[in-house]
Amino acid sequence: MSKKLRTLLKNNRRLEEKIFYEPRTSDWRKDLISPKELSDALTCLANKITASQSPELSVLTLLNEVDFISGRPLASYEKNALQVVEILFNYLRINTEYDQRFYHILNSLQLAFTRLALDDLSFLDNQKHVAVVFLEKLVNIGFHFDENAGKLTSFFVHAIELLIARLASKNQVSIKTFSLARRRLDEYFQGFEEKVNLNKTRLIADIEKKSRKIEADFYTEHLIKSKTQGDEIPIFLLDFFENQVQPVLHKIILKHGAQSKQCQQLLTDMDTITWSISCPFGDPDYKVRFEADVPPTMKRVFNNFEEQGLVNEYMKAFFFEIEELHIKKLDGKRVHLDVMISADIFSDEEYEVDSFDSWSPQNETTFEIQSLQEGRWYYLQNEGKKVRSQLLMINQLTEELYFVNLSGELLVTIGFDQQQYLADCLEAFIEDEQIHFSHAIKSLTRELTSKIEVLELEYDTIKQQEIINEKQRQQLEERARLAVIQRLEEEKKAVEKRRQTALEEKRKAHEAMITKERIEAEKRFKAKGLLRKVGPGSVVAIMLKTGRWTEASLMLISRTTQRYIFADKNGNKITEPTKMELVDLINEQRIKIITADTSQLDPLQALVVKRREKLTQQL
C-alpha cells in the first residue's frame, strides 16, 4: 500500500479512536474483535452480502448485526482492510451501469477480496496482482453484460457466478486461491470467446451469402456491359456473352466473389475470345498468340459451363461456330461478321442524375459512416433502452450496419439511409473512459481524504462542545456555590429571624407575664383591700366545689392559724381558708362579698380576745 494511503488510513483510525473509543470509561481495547471472531462473522453474513442488490454495500455496518460481536470495536488493520475493499467495490457499483444480476458477482468477489485483504493489503499497489487482474476481467465483461447479451453470455456469467461463489465461501483466501480461480476463469473466457467467434463466423457467412447475391446481381450485369459496350462486337458474340456467359459469371461471383481468381479469369477469357474473333485481318502475331491463349481459354470456358451445369445446345452451337471462324482466321481468310456498336446512347445525359440530386432535401441529417469501426462497442437506443452492442460489419455493398451482442448474436441491422436514427441513437462506447481498478484506487484516496475531513470537523466540534460543556459546568458549579452560599445566608437569616422571633415572643411573654402579674397583683391588692373590709359578721357568697353558690358569714378570724372561718346561717362551718387563700378566692371571684360589717366584734371573737388577755396577765 502506498505511503499516502497508509497515512490516510492511520489518520482515520486515530480520529475514530479519539471520537468513539477514548471517551469510554472502560478499556475498549479489551473488547477488540479477534481475527477468528471476524472470520466467523463474515461467514455468517456471506449469504446476506452476496444477495444484496444495493449499489452500496457496507460490510462494516453489517457486522453490527452479528450478535456475538455487535457493538465491539475492530483492530486498526482489520478496520483498514474492510474499509478499503468496501470503498473500492462501492465505487465500481455506483459509477458503472452494470446489470442488477451482475451485482451478485461483485458482492461475492467483494467478500473474497475482504478475506484476502485481511491477510495482506499490499496487493492494492500491484496492478498485475492476480486478484486485481481477476477483478479487471470481470469489470470488462460487466460493461457489456445486460438483458440483451444473449443466452451464451447468460450461461457464461452464471458459470462465473458459481466460480466466485465458491471463492467467497472459503474461510481463508490467499494468492494461491485466486490463482486457481483465475486459471479457471481464463478457461471460461477462452471457451466463451471460441463460441462467440463461432457465432460471429456463422453470422458473417450468412451476411456474405446475402451480400454475394446482391454483389452477383450488380457486378454480373456491370462486368458484362464492360465487355460488350463501347466497341464494335459481333452480334453472335454479344448474344453469347449476354445470354450464355452472364449466368455462368453470376454463379461464379455468387460462390467466389467479384474479386475472386475465378471471376477475373473468366473476364480475361472473354477478352481473349473477343480478340480471337475481332483481331484485324493479316496480324502477323495472330497465330502465335492464338496457339498460346485461345485453346486453353475455350477449354476453361467450356469447363465453367459444365461445372455450373449450364451446357445446352445453343452454347454448343456457339462453340462450333466460333471454331469454324478460328479455322478461317488461322488459314488467313477474311471473316465477314455481322457487327454492331454496343454503346450506351444515354451515357452523355448525366444531367439527369444531377437533376435528381438537386431535388434531394438539403437539410437532411448526414452521418459519417466512415467514423464507425468494425469490432468497436456502441450504445444503441432500442425500444427506449440503452443497449450495448458491437459493430460486426460495415457492408458497403448492401449499405447496412450489423450490430451483435456479447454472445455474437445479431442484435440489429441498420441501413445507411437511417441517418437520423444513427445520429440520435448511436453513441460510441469508449473503453478508456470506463471505470477500472485504477479509477477505484484514486477514488479510495479521495474518499479517505473526505472521511478525514469529516472526522476532523466532528472532532473539532466535539472539542468545542467539550469546552462549552466545561464552561457550562463551571458556570453551573459557580451557580451551585452561589446558591449554597445564598441558601446558607437565607438559613442564617431564618435562624436569626427565628431567634429574634423567639426573643420577641419571650419578651412579649415576659411582658405579658409581668402584665399578668401586675394585674394579678392589682387584683390581689384590690382583693386584700376588700379583705381588710371583711370582718366577723361579714356576709359573703361562696362557690362550693359542686359549683353551687351559697351564702355564709365570717364567724371567726384565727390569729393563730391565720384562717378565716365561714359558717352558714345555721352555724355550720363551710370553709376556713387562710388569708392568702381567701385573697385568691376573692381574686378568682369564687367568694363574693355581699356585706362587710366590722362595727362590732363577733361574740366568739370577743370571748377569745378576753381569754387571751387573761392568759397574758397570768403569765
Please report the DSSP string for 182-195 in residue order.
HHHHHHHHHHHHHH
Q: Flag whether pLDDT at 55 surpasses 60.
A: yes
Retrieve residue 282's grid coordinates. 493479316
Contact 85, 114 (CB under 8 A): yes
Give the span between the Cα atoms of 308 and 301, in whole angstroms. Answer: 11
- Look at the block and give the residue holding cell 477514548: 22
Compute the chain's Rg from CA coordinates: 67
How many of the other CB atoms lie within 10 Å of CB of 355? 10
Among the residue ranges 236-240, 443-447, 606-610, the one predicted with the least confidence is 606-610
| C-alpha torsion sign, points 402, 405, 410, 413 | negative
Instruction: Report residue 427: phi and psi, to 5°.
Output: -135, 130
Grid cell in block for residue 190: 477462452
Nearest residue to 258 via CA among 300, 224, 230: 224
Which ranges constitute the DSSP H helices of 232-312?
A: 235-240, 246-256, 261-278, 286-308
Half-sphere exposure of 284 (CA within 13 A, CB side): 0
- CA trace torsion 417, 422, 423, 427 (10° rounding): -160
Query: Chain-wide mean pLDDT for the chain?
Result: 81
- Coil/strand/helix, residue 281: coil
Using pLDDT thresholds of 50, 70 and 90, give the confidence band for residue 197: very high
Q: Where do the H-state alpha helices sit in 534-602?
A: 579-587
Of 14-28, 427-441, 500-514, highest mean pLDDT: 500-514
Does residue 348 have a pLDDT over 70?
Answer: no
* Grid cell of 616 as nine digits: 397574758
Q: Provide CB contacts within 8 A for 48, sequence distance 6+.
A: 62
> Residue 12 — φ and ψ, nearest 5°?
-60, -50
Least Cα distance to 273 among 316, 230, 330, 233 occurs for: 233
Confidence of residue 228 (pLDDT cuts 50, 70, 90): confident
Taking the C-alpha atoms of residue 308 and residue 305, their distance in angstroms, rounded to an integer, is: 5
- Span 253-293, pLDDT tens digits: 888 877 889 889 988 988 898 888 888 877 788 888 889 99
| pLDDT band at residue 412 using 50, 70 and 90 as cut-offs | confident
Lowest mean pLDDT among 3-7, 135-139, 476-480: 3-7
Nearest to 371 by CA among 394, 392, 388, 404: 394
pLDDT digits (tens, 9 = 90+) for 571-609: 888 888 887 888 778 877 788 888 876 554 555 556 666
**CA 168 to CA 46: how far, in whole Å?**
8
Question: Would residue 282 be called left, alpha or beta, if left means φ above 0 and alpha means ψ between -120 and 50 degrees?
Answer: left
Using alpha carbons, select from 235, 236, 260, 262 the residue that is nearest to residue 248. 262
Most confidently modeled range among 36-45, 377-386, 551-560, 581-590: 36-45
Domain ranges of the chain: 32-173, 208-341, 369-433, 534-618
**What local confidence, expressed as pLDDT, does residue 193 receive?**
92
DSSP for residue 239 = H
pLDDT digits (tens, 9 = 90+) for 474-515: 888 888 888 889 888 888 888 888 888 888 888 888 888 888
In this structure, the strands spanning 426-428 and 377-382 are antiparallel
User: 220: exposed, middle or buried (C-beta count within 10 Å: 0-12, 13-18, 19+)?
Assistant: buried
Confidence at 296, pLDDT banded by 50, 70, 90: very high
Residue 184 has pLDDT above 90, yes or no: yes
CATH number of 534-618: 2.30.30.140
Contact 533, 589 (CB under 8 A): no
End-to-end CA distance of the chain: 146
Residue 361 has pLDDT above 70, yes or no: no
C-alpha cell of residue 293: 491463349
The lowest-confidence range among 44-48, 167-171, 347-351 is 347-351
Higher model confidence: residue 359 or residue 536?
A: 536
- Two domains, one topology: 369-433 and 534-618: yes
- What is d(CA 50, CA 57) in angstroms, rounded to the nearest whole number? 10
Which of helix, strand or coil describes residue 594? strand
Phi/psi for 112 (5° steps) reads: -65, -40
Coil, helix or strand for 450?
helix
Residue 364's pLDDT band, with cuts at 50, 70 and 90, is: low
Report which residue type is found at 329. Answer: K
Q: At what angle do helices 76-94 and 103-119 cross, to 10 degrees?
A: 160
- Digit-coded pLDDT (tens) for 94-120: 888 787 788 888 888 989 989 988 888
Of 53, 59, 150, nearest to 106 by C-alpha is: 53
Buried b (16+ CB within 10 A) or exposed e, 565-598: bbbeeeeeebbbbeeeebbbbbbeeebebeebee
Would strands 377-382 and 339-341 be described as parallel, antiparallel, or unpaired? Answer: unpaired
Q: Report the alpha-carbon distance of residue 532 to residue 200 in Å, rounded.
A: 157
Domain 369-433 -> CATH class? mainly beta
Cα 42 to Cα 110: distance, rounded to the nearest angstrom: 11
Per-residue DSSP letter, 578: B
433 confidence band (pLDDT: 50, 70, 90): low
Distance separating alpha carbons of residues 191 and 273, to the nearest angstrom: 53
CA distance 157 to 145: 8
Quote the CA–CA distance of 246 and 233 in Å, as a whole number. Answer: 16
579-587 and 437-533 are packed helices; what angle lies between their axes, rounded to 10 degrees? 120
Question: What would the grid cell of residue 114 be?
Answer: 475482504
